[in-house]
């Protein structure tokens, strides 16, 4: 683009016609009617198809839930019968013959039920009853997960996570039950390992949709049965907490970039949840195709109707209206009629044409005088404005400027005409200024725009420019008006304010971070912990929600610091803090540094059993860090002792009491040998302590 050139003055908007306008109006009206009709049909189609899809998903989900419920009910009933067998319960004191009868019974049940792979029982004295396998020396069944799970469930039945058998590669799940001893108490556990390959095969079938998938999650939101083995043990954030919702509900969730329609049902026998989901795109794709077809058909019908209507109306209205336009144009221009005068029909249009012809001559003279008077008024306003007002043609050549040009730019008003507006703008802003002027001409963009400007003495300063167009009678732009204001002082003030605001924001953010965060570990600090605990305890008091607390202390940490040095001690605390952050996954939970080598975890909506399970995992994870501790009497690696407690039965009246119970439980764990956790609960019946290694 050449300097000072913004628009070709010969270009003008396309000339319209009455026929075209009638056609456009008729087509638009028909299109609006057909669009409304098409929208209603599309909405009805969408509702119908999505309802049908959800019904199919619900049917599949209910079938999978019934299948799994029936499958595991049989296993649960089997293990319930085994748990009541007197010989199995008293196997620790029975002879070899009785134990052989137990093994024969296990073998018979396994042969009779193809879904059962193994049956075995273990006892607290180290006895293990299982067919076709000899436990190695020193094997202790009481340390196995299935045994611990059965003891945790006591009189209930424990169903574990699926695992893959090493030899056969078959997917199995352990169902165990604690064995009540004749003299009272529990001293053993009987377990049934059943195959779930049939379950996996069943849920992997696709009856209605290619992307349809069913899977099972446990009460903690972890996926435990899924056709894709790589996702086992993982969770989907948006459906992680559906166990807390009522069974048999529809939902929509995202997994990665894919959105799913889904339905879930609870399995009463296992307390698992079955989720059946279908990619939303697969459901919506046929609906979109039908809607687009409907929209296309609507457009064709609208164009046909508009064309038919425009032809009909043009024949009746076009010619009289065209002649009326010629008459008005000639009257305004002062031209005389050439040739025979068109005879208008004796209707409203003809009467209008005759009256306009008489008024045109009168009004033309009056308007001329009025415009001349207006010119003088505008010129007076132009010269009195404190801002420079410049009038230029569309090529950027200046026609006139106001008196303010001398004060702002240093030019006398008589010097400026003939110069280009670009002569007053710094070269680095020329391209942007041209683009804004083109935008003003084509899009009626008024600004404001800010530029670096150049005075007559070549000094630079900041200006603000507002734009406007002067148009002819046909509405075509012929000139532009630029209102220029010196904003140098304002820009300096804005920069000072922005610098001050940035400084204040930085100081505010730093103060907030320091007030809530522990500087060594990056965890929440003691102050934030106290505030959060007070809020959660108040919520517990009001609504009776579960609230648990875990107090954690690093074993023999003073010895660690004395032996390895404080820098190593700080690094040890940071690694333990990172482990805690990784273990406490829920966004509602809080991990904080309580002081020194002590940490604390607040677990809203969590019962004592869930908190104890998390405490066990934390202790194992810290030990797995394998941080050497040469001066520890407990382990060769760094370990922690944990105290677990929960607020129940509204016995506690303040959050500090909950902290005191957790602290008491933690010291009990230290007294019991460290590297363990102790659960201490207070209820209306009194205080009870449960220790876990």
CA-CA distances (angstroms) from residue 100 to 87, 135, 190, 612? Answer: 11, 16, 15, 38
Residue 571: closest CA among 641, 521, 642: 521
**Residue 593 and residue 525 in contact, taking contact as beta carbons nearer than 8 Å:** yes
Q: What are residue 597's phi and psi, to 5 degrees?
A: -100, 20
The distance between the two most distant Cα atoms of the chain, rounded to a whole number of Å, is 133
Residue 88 in tokens: 């199995």
Give residues with Cβ within 8 angstroms of 42, minimum separation 6. 291, 294, 295
Task: Report long-range pairs for 167-175 (Cβ below 8 Å, ≥24 apart).
Answer: 170/117, 170/195, 170/197, 171/195, 171/196, 171/197, 171/200, 172/117, 172/118, 172/196, 173/224, 174/145, 174/146, 174/149, 175/72, 175/75, 175/76, 175/79
Catalytic one of 464, 597, 620, 636: 597
215 φ, ψ (degrees, to nearest 5): -150, 165
**Taking the alpha carbons of 410, 416, 422, 423 in that order, is the dihedral positive or negative?**
negative
Do 75 and 158 meet the contact criterion of CB atoms below 8 Å apart? no
Element (H, E) at 668: helix 655-671
Residues 6+ apart with CB under 8 A from 294: 38, 41, 42, 45
Q: Is 597 one of the annotated active-site residues of the chain?
A: yes
What is the sign, positive or negative, of the torsion defined by CA atoms of 183, 148, 106, 159? positive
- Give dist(CA 562, CA 558) in Å, integer: 6
Q: What angle do CA 28, 30, 31 make, to 5 degrees?
A: 60
Handedness of CA 267, 75, 140, 680 (dihedral sign): positive
Please confirm whether the linkage preceding 281 is cis (ω < 30° from 0). Answer: no
**Residue listed under structure tokens 């599309």:** 42
**Phi/psi of residue 247, nearest 5 degrees:** -70, 155
Read off φ and ψ for residue 684, nearest 5 degrees.
-65, -20
How far is the first Cα of the chain from the last one, in angstroms, to the nearest whole number? 82
Nearest to 448 by CA among 457, 436, 432, 435: 436
Task: Report DSSP letters for 399-445, one per residue.
Answer: EEE-THHHHHHS--TTTSTTSBGGGGB-GGGHHHHHHHHHHHHHH--
| Dist. CA 445–CA 462, nearest whole Å | 21
Q: Which one-letter DSSP state was computed for residue 136?
A: P
Structure tokens at 553: 């202390």
Which helix (H) or strand (E) segment holds residue 547: the answer is strand 547-554
d(CA 383, CA 149): 93
C-beta separation of 591 from 599 below 8 A: yes
Q: Which residues are known catalytic residues?
A: 597
């Amino acid at each position: 683009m050449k300097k000072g050139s913004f628009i070709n003055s010969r270009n003008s908007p396309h000339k319209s016609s009455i026929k075209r306008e009638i056609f456009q109006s008729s087509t638009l009206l028909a299109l609006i009617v057909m669009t409304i009709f098409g929208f209603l049909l599309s909405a009805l189609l969408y509702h119908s198809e999505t309802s049908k899809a959800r019904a199919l998903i619900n049917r599949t989900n209910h079938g999978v839930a019934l299948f799994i419920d029936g499958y595991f009910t049989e296993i649960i009933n089997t293990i319930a019968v085994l748990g009541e067998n007197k010989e199995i319960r008293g196997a620790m004191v029975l002879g070899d013959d009785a134990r052989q009868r137990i093994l024969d019974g296990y073998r018979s049940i396994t042969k009779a039920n193809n879904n059962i792979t193994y049956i075995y029982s273990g006892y607290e004295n180290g006895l293990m009853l299982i067919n076709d396998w000899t436990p190695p020396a020193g094997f202790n069944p009481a340390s196995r997960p299935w045994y611990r799970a059965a003891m945790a469930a006591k009189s209930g039945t424990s169903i574990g996570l699926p695992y893959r058998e090493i030899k056969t590669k078959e997917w199995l799940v352990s169902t165990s039950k604690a064995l009540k001893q004749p003299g009272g108490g529990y001293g053993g556990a009987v377990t049934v390992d059943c195959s779930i390959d049939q379950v996996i095969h069943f849920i992997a079938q696709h009856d209605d949709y290619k992307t349809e998938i069913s899977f099972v999650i446990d009460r903690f939101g972890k996926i435990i049965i899924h056709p894709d083995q790589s996702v086992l043990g993982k969770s989907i954030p948006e459906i992680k907490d559906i166990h807390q919702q009522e069974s048999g509900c529809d939902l929509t969730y995202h997994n990665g970039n894919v959105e799913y329609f889904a339905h879930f049902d609870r399995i009463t026998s296992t307390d698992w949840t079955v989720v059946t989901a279908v990619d939303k795109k697969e459901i919506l794709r046929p609906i979109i195709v039908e809607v687009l077809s409907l929209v296309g058909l609507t457009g064709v019908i609208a164009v046909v109707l508009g064309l038919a209507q425009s032809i009909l109306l043009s024949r009746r209205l076009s010619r009289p209206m065209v002649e009326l336009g010629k008459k008005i144009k000639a009257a305004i221009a002062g031209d005389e009629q050439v040739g025979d005068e068109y005879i208008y029909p004796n209707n409203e249009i003809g009467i209008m044409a005759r009256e306009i012809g008489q008024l045109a001559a009168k009004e033309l003279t009056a308007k001329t005088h009025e415009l001349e008077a207006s010119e003088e008024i505008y010129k007076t306003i132009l010269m009195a404005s404190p801002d420079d007002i410049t009038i230029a043609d569309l090529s950027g050549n200046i026609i006139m400027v106001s008196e303010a040009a001398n004060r702002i730019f240093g030019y006398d008003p008589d010097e400026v005409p003939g110069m280009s507006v670009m002569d007053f703008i710094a070269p680095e802003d020329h391209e942007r200024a041209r683009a804004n002027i083109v935008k003003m001409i084509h899009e009626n963009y008024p600004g404001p725009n800010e530029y670096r400007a150049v005075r007559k003495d070549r000094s630079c300063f900041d200006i603000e420019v507002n734009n406007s167009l002067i148009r002819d009678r046909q509405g075509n732009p012929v000139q532009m008006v630029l209102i220029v204001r010196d904003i140098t002082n304002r820009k300096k003030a804005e920069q000072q304010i922005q610098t001050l605001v940035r400084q204040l924001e930085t100081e505010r953010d730093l103060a907030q971070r320091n007030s809530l965060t522990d500087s060594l570990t990056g965890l929440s600090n003691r102050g934030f912990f106290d505030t959060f605990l007070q809020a959660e305890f108040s919520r517990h008091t009001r609504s009776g929600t579960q609230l648990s607390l875990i107090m954690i202390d690093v074993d023999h940490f003073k010895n660690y610091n004395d032996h390895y040095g404080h820098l190593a001690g700080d690094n040890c605390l940071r690694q333990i803090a990172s482990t805690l952050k990784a273990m406490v996954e829920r966004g509602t939970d809080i991990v904080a540094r309580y002081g020194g080598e002590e940490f604390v975890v607040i677990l809203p909506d969590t019962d004592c059993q869930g908190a104890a399970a998390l405490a066990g995992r934390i202790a194992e994870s810290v030990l797995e860090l394998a941080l050497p501790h040469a001066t520890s009497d407990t382990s060769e690696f760094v370990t922690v002792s944990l105290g677990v407690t929960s607020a129940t039965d509204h016995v506690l009246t303040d959050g500090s009491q909950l902290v005191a119970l957790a602290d008491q439980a933690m010291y009990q764990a230290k007294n019991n040998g460290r590297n363990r956790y102790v659960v201490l609960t207070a209820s209306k019946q009194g205080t009870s302590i449960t220790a876990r290694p």
